[in-house]
Amino acid sequence: MAKSANSIWALALIACVAIGLGIVAQQWGSQSPALKKAILLPTPRALPEVKFTSHTGDPFATKDFAGKWQILFFGFTFCPDICPTTLYTLKQVKQRLVESKQWGNVAVKMITVDPKRDTAQRLAQYVPFFDPEFSGLTSDLTSIEEFAKSVGVLFVAHDPDANGNYDVDHSASLILINPAGQYAGVISTPHNVEEMTHDIAILAQANNEDAGVNKAQSMAEALVLKDPWIRPAPPMADALAAYLVAKNSSAGNVKVVGASSPMFEEVLIHTTDISEAMASMDTVDKLVIAPGSSIAFEPLGTHLMLMEPINEIVEGDLVPIMLELSDGSVAQAIFPVQQPTESK
213 inside domain = no
What are the tens digits of pLDDT across the range 30-79?
344 478 889 888 888 999 999 999 999 999 999 999 888 999 999 999 99
CA distance 323 to 316: 22
DSSP conformation class of 252: S
Give the end of a domain, one of 149, 171, 204.
Answer: 204
Same domain, 184 and 40: yes
Same domain, 21 and 148: yes
pTM for this structure? 0.55
Same domain, 147 and 33: yes
Same domain, 90 and 59: yes
Show Cβ contacts of residue 6 under 8 Å, excluding neighbours closer than 6 positions. 156
Is the pLDDT score of 2 beyond 60? Answer: no
Is the pLDDT score of 325 beyond 70? Answer: yes
The most distant pair of C-alpha atoms in the chain lies apart, rounded to whole Å, by 82
Domain count across the chain = 2
Give the end of a domain, one of 204, 229, 259.
Answer: 204
Using an 8 Å Cβ cutoff, are 253 and 209 in contact?
yes
State the burial class of residue 329 (Cβ atoms within 10 Å of its Cβ: 0-12, 13-18, 19+): middle
Same domain, 238 and 328: yes
CATH at residue 10 = 3.40.30.10
341 inside domain = no
Q: Which residue has the higher pLDDT, 212 or 189?
A: 189
CATH at residue 249 = 2.60.40.1890
What's the mean pLDDT when you consider all of the chain?
Answer: 83
What are the tens digits of pLDDT across the range 68-83?
899 999 999 999 899 9
What are the tens digits of pLDDT across the range 197-210?
999 988 876 344 44
pLDDT of residue 68: 87
49 inside domain = yes
CA distance 188 to 167: 22
209 inside domain = no
CA distance 116 to 283: 42
Q: Which domain holds residue 141?
A: 5-204
Same domain, 196 and 223: no
pLDDT of residue 278: 66
Q: Give the confidence band of 272 by pLDDT, cuts at 50, 70, 90.
A: confident
Q: Give the confidence band of 279 by pLDDT, cuts at 50, 70, 90.
A: low
DSSP-assigned letters across all residues of 119-181: -HHHHHHHHHHH-TT-EEEE--HHHHHHHHHHTT--EEEPPP-TTS---EEE--PEEEE-TTS
Q: How far apart are the first and last CA of the chain?
A: 61
Is the pLDDT score of 86 beyond 60? Answer: yes
